[in-house]
Amino acid sequence: MQRAERATKIMDILNKIYPKTPIPLNHRNKFELLISVLLSAQCTDKRVNEITPILFKKANNAEKMQKLSQNKIYKIIRPCGLAPQKSSAIYRLSNILVKNFNGKVPESFDELEKLPGVGHKTASVVMSQGFGHPAFPVDTHIHRLAQRWGLTNGKNVTQTEKDLKKIFPMDSWNKLHLQIIFYGREYCEARKCFGLDCKICKTCFPNRKKPVKTKKPK
């Protein structure tokens, strides 16, 4: 089975299982989305959604956030992990947004990726889920699944993103990256399927006998 054929079958399966793709991080505006995605690094969406209501009750925009001390932000977000780095990034980016963007979240990859604590993946999520621009955020989970499903060679997340964008239609990217995340959590977990058991793995590689060893992103 060629890569393009696998991609078509994968989309068919995902569209049947997940016809709708709610955004997993709760937010009411683009600033809250940006902060939620930043907090989600090495933290579960569930934990982020438990912490952000407390944080956003005190500051749900850049103007209010910059008035909080970094230490106050730290104390609230501490359960998310990496709190020293994240609290510093949130405080500094809030000041930058107020100073340079009138408190608004910029609508471009370049400007987003210049903000403290905001890498390409976070910027992609904000551009996709916040502004509706075509983007394909690739985290370690999507990187792993793309290898299991034979859609990339697994060198790094940058290459995986390029490979996925080549093989899937642009108008599917925003929905598809969420579908893949949902499917991975439910059916193709890191320490369960190993490329052998779930419907997508068995459909794409019916003759596969050995577990797939995926490469960690560099």
Whether 53 and 110 map to the same domain: the answer is yes
Q: How would you write the pLDDT of the chain (218 residues) with one tens digit per residue?
A: 789 999 999 999 999 999 999 999 999 999 999 999 999 998 999 999 999 999 999 999 999 999 999 999 999 999 998 999 999 999 999 999 999 999 999 999 999 999 999 999 999 999 999 999 999 999 888 999 999 999 998 789 999 999 999 999 999 999 999 999 999 999 999 899 999 999 999 999 999 999 988 887 76
Annotated catalytic residue: which of 12, 139, 166, 202?
139
For residue 162, the enclosing domain spans: 3-20+136-204
Is residue 139 among the annotated active site residues?
A: yes
pLDDT at 71: 97
Annotated catalytic residue: which of 30, 57, 121, 210?
121
Residue 215 lies in a domain: no
Residue tagged 């994968």 (tokens): 10
Looking at 130, 164, 189, the residue that finishes a domain is 130
Where does 126-212 have alpha helices with state H?
140-148, 157-167, 173-186, 199-204
Whether 108 and 91 map to the same domain: the answer is yes
Token duo for residue 210: 């050995």
Looking at 113, 130, 147, the residue that finishes a domain is 130
pLDDT at 218: 65
196 burial (CB, 10 Å; 0-12 / 13-18 / 19+) is: middle
Give, rounded to a whole angstrom, the gap between the first and last alpha carbons of the chain.
28
Is residue 218 among the annotated active site residues?
A: no
Residues shown for the chain: 218
Q: Are 105 and 34 in contact (CB under 8 A)?
A: yes
CATH number of the domain to which 145 belongs? 1.10.1670.10
